[in-house]
Amino acid sequence: MFSLDGMTALVTGASGGIGSAIAVALARQGARIALSGSNGAKLRAFREQLQDEVGGDHVEITCDLSNTTQVEELVPAAIDTFGKLDILVNNAGITRDGLMMRMKDDDWQSVLDINLSAAFRLMRAATRPMMKAKFGRMISITSVVGTTGNPGQMNYAAAKAGLVGMSKSLAQELASRNITVNCVAPGFIRTAMTEVLPEDQKAALNGRIPMGRMGEGEDIGAAVAYLASREAGYVTGQTLHVNGGMAMV
């Protein structure tokens, strides 16, 4: 069940904590992965690790999502490599946190450009080949804060909420072509960044989660693998919240 044998995927932000977990989950189900990110050396090291530990035929494609030209070339590059694209995962994102009174225009714009506009361009580029194939899975990684909001993250919350609205709209446009468009909204996920937090901060964070712990990257990877599967063909325009009960929406 949930086999992705014969399918190809493009994952942005693939060498990060959540991105690498998503890539591993898809590869374990049999997909071939085009791993994208801005750090070529880090991508190459992860691709070699993925092939050694999981197996499969994977490639890395370096792309700076703040560069419109590179973004426009990313989907065609993945298709040129694999001959088709079945799954697009918009995972890459940045934060530029700050209270609204102190937030600079550049902090607002850079988060919107990378977290939302780049995803729009990748989805637009993937639409035509997926329509031609009469099959496709587009999955964007949003966030619980796109639903709840969060002080100091107006830009990030706006971009993540925008992904949800954009996905719902595209889902309606493409449903008749057997293309689904969905989101996964992580809550607090244990990453290298959260591991360096003081223990009292970790305890405070865990206290907000009914399950009493942060999630793992594998929890997000499993959700993406399900939505990418053929079995999820009747699920579209949805946001799957993976947050340990922190926000029950």
Residues annotated catalytic, as ranges: 156
99-121 core/surface letters (b: 16 or more CB in 10 A; e: else): eeeebeeebbebbbbbbbbbbbb
Closest CA to 94 of 119, 70, 73: 119
Residue 141 φ/ψ, nearest 5 degrees: -90, 110
- Where do the DSSP E strands lie in 121-225? 136-141, 179-186
Which residues, 6+ apart, have CB-to-CB distance to 67 below 8 Å?
none
- Joined together, the tokens standing for residue 60 give 């890395």
Closest CA to 50 of 65, 32, 63: 32
